[in-house]
Amino acid sequence: MTVLQQFRDINQKIKQYEEALAVIYWDLRTGAPRKGMDIRSEVIGTLSSEMFRLSTSQELGQLLTELESEHNWEQLDELNRRLVQETRKEYDRSVKIPPELYQRYVVLTAQAENNWELCKQNNDYASFQPYLEQIIELTNQMIDLWGVKETRYDTLLDQYEPGMTVQQLDQIFGELRDELVPLAEQIASSPHQPRTDFLEGQFDIAAQKEYSLFILKQMGFDFDAGRLDESVHPFATGLNPHDVRITTRYLADDVTSALFGTIHEGGHALYEQNISEQLVGTTLCTGTSMGIHESQSRFWENVIGRSRPFWNRYYRDLQQRFPQLAEIDVDTFYRGNNIVKPSLIRIEADELTYNLHIIIRYEIEKMIFNEGLQAKDLPRVWNEKYKQYLGIEPPSDAEGVLQDVHWSGGAFGYFPSYSLGNMYAAQFMNTLQQQMPDIWQKVEAGELHPIKDWLAERIYQYGRLKSPSELVEQITNEPLNPAYLAQYLKEKYTDIYKL
């Protein structure tokens, strides 16, 4: 067996453990019996440890060194070079963490995730706090082992958006805020506020499910290579391109919440379902970064799903299922679904204030890791920031600090990806419109497949073969530029609010 084959075998085995764990996590979040959670956490710990052992083995280190030698390197094709580079990066990172620490971290976060759901249900931050304290402590230990970049929080950011820094984000988020705050003020003082009364009421859940499935099919989601389920916190998980699973959460009193959740996760799913077959069985077979992944979920959810042409086509199918909408015309419906209004729950926020939700989490995470903010103070700081940025205060921790699953999974540094996703999405859309000038006629005709194909050809197929910055520059001919998001939002809301 050649060096390359040995390396590919280990890499494939790691990918197989990832798939096993993905099934197990999916199962935990979609209805696994409550009492089995503790033992399941230990199972996750054992499998993750084995995967970690494979990822940090001396054998792998030696194979990497051999493949990096000039003689071998020259013979590698692009895919294998990229695979070696990415594996090297993760190897150097992982090998610094002692296996015992890693296993503790995995078991802890699995238990915390299981308990988070219950704590949120019971509005019980006190029971959740000890988990968070331990997760923060272990994360800090790992930052020390990985090595502190410019700041401690920079070390975490790099995991989700390679190369991204606090300095860059402070600037990008600063620019974005400077554009969005006056826009939000103009919107608030516009006399043309959308009607939203019709969005309240009782909406049959079976009909909501059916409509969600219909829209997913329209987007080109392959149901022979995926499924839609329900969970408290919607998510997408790509086991491999032939098995990509998403979840949503149906609310009887909200006709679009589950739908936009479905479209959002559906965007993630289209990415994972359309990765090139040649990457299957390698660790390159997933999205290239969380930011690019979010660009796809938010592109489909907002840029397409919350557009006027989309509803010009699909509103009639919604009206058929919900007769109470018969008297509401498409313009009223479209504007109502794009109301800008400060709110408590991130995943239900409008496209504009959404970015403020992200800035709050970003600032809190920086405080935790760069200023030593403690878990016990999180509810207070959370509520203060919501007051400051959005002018509203959560009446309960369930609607405040406990609303998101991310921290229970240890995903500190992830949240900025959501706003990065918004920015990437707007920038990609700018190019897409230039290259496909009749895009909105296509959407109005219910032809979403050309859009999916455009994205698949330029983004999806590559998986992790190209970095986020490579993708953005190759597709749009410039680096990430927050101006496109600002411009997109201005145009959209100038129309809706007649500014």
**Among positions 223, 253, 434, 445, the unique one binding its own copies when judged by CB under 8 A:** 223
Q: What is the largest CA-CA distance in the chain?
A: 73
String of DSSP letters for 262-308: HHHHHHHHHHHHTS-GGGTTSTTSS-S-HHHHHHHHHIIIIIITTSH
Compare residues 39 and 326 and give the one whose CB is closer to its own copies: 39
Residues in 79-138 that interact with its own copies by CB under 8 A: none
Q: By CB under 8 A, tell whether 367 contacts its own copies.
A: no
Choices 19-27, 111-119, 162-170, 454-462; region in contact with its own copies by CB under 8 A? 19-27
Q: Which residues, in sequence order, are bridge partners of residue 226?
A: 244
User: For the chain, what is the radius of gyration of the CA atoms?
Assistant: 23
| Ordered strands of the 226-230 beta sheet | 226-230, 243-248, 236-240
Among 47, 79, 367, 398, binds its own copies (CB under 8 A): 47
Is 182 among the residues that bind its own copies (CB under 8 A)? no
Distance CA 240, CA 40 (A): 23
C-alpha to C-alpha distance for 269 and 54, rounded to whole angstroms: 28
Pinpoint the alpha helices (H) of 122-236.
Answer: 125-146, 152-160, 166-188, 205-219
The least CB distance from residue 27 to its own copies, in Å, is 5
Nearest approach, Cβ of residue 24 and its own copies (Å): 6
Position 204 contacts its own copies (CB under 8 A): no
The Cβ of residue 411 has, within 10 Å, a number of other Cβ atoms equal to: 20
What whole-number distance in Å separates Cα of residue 132 and Cα of residue 172?
A: 29
Interface with its own copies in residues 264-323 (CB under 8 A): 280-281
The yes or no reply on residue 242 touching its own copies (CB under 8 A) is: yes
331 sits near its own copies (criterion: CB under 8 A): no
Q: How far is the CB of 37 from its own copies (least distance, A)?
A: 8
* Candidate list 3, 6, 8, 32; residue touching its own copies; CB under 8 A: 32
Is 348 assigned a ligand-binding role in the annotation? no
CB of 445 to its own copies, least distance (A): 29
With binding defined as CB under 8 A, does residue 224 bind its own copies? yes
- Is the CB of 238 or the CB of 379 nearer to its own copies? 238
The single residue among 13, 177, 346, 442 that binds its own copies, judged by CB under 8 A, is: 13
| # residues contacting its own copies (CB under 8 A) | 37
Q: Does 268 show up as a binding residue in the annotation?
A: yes
Nearer to its own copies, 102 or 146 (CB): 102
Considering only the stretches 10-18, 177-185, 432-440, 442-450, report the one whose residues sit in contact with its own copies under the rule CB under 8 A.
10-18
Task: Specify the residue for token string 């696994």.
Answer: 32
36 binds its own copies (CB under 8 A): yes
Binding status of residue 39 toward its own copies by CB under 8 A? yes
Cα–Cα dist 135/105, whole Å: 7
Residue type, 488: Y
Determine if residue 449 is labeled as part of a ligand binding site: no
226 binding its own copies? (CB under 8 A): yes
- Given 265, 301, 351, 365, the catalytic residue: 265
53 makes contact with its own copies (CB under 8 A):
no
What is the distance between the alpha carbons of residues 303 and 443, in angstroms, rounded to a whole number? 11
d(CA 423, CA 485): 5
CB 311 within 8 A of CB 334: yes
User: How do 226-230 and 236-240 pair as beta strands?
Assistant: unpaired
> Please, which residue, 8 or 81, has the CB nearer to its own copies?
8
* Residue 265 annotated in active site: yes
Question: Which among 404, 412, 432 has a CA at the least distance from the CA of 296?
Answer: 432
Q: Which of 12/343 has CB closer to its own copies?
A: 12
> Of the listed pieces 32-40, 323-331, 460-468, 477-485, which binds its own copies according to CB under 8 A?
32-40
Among 3, 24, 145, 436, binds its own copies (CB under 8 A): 24
Exposure string over 281-315, b if 16+ CB within 10 A, otherwise e: bbbbbbbbbbbbbbbbbbbbbbbbbbbbbbbbbbb
344 to 341, 389, 395, 426, 438: CA distances (angstroms): 10, 11, 9, 24, 37
* Contact by Cβ (8 Å): 490, 183: yes
Of 146 and 221, CB closest to its own copies: 221
* Contact pick of 243, 265, 350, 404 for its own copies (by CB under 8 A): 243
Q: Does residue number 33 form part of the binding site for its own copies (CB under 8 A)? A: yes
Distance of CA 199 to the CA centre of its chain: 26
Q: Which is nearer to its own copies, 118 or 181 (CB)?
A: 118
Nearest residue (CB) to its own copies, 54 versus 79: 54
How many other CB atoms sit within 10 Å of the CB of residue 2? 9
Using rule CB under 8 A, residue 201 touches its own copies: no
CA distance 209 to 217: 12
Task: Give contact residues for its own copies (rule: CB under 8 A).
Answer: 13, 16-17, 19-20, 23-24, 26-27, 31-36, 38-40, 42-43, 46-47, 50, 222-227, 239-240, 242-245, 280-281
| Binding-site residue set for Zn(2+) | 264, 268, 294
Give the catalytic positions in this structure.
265
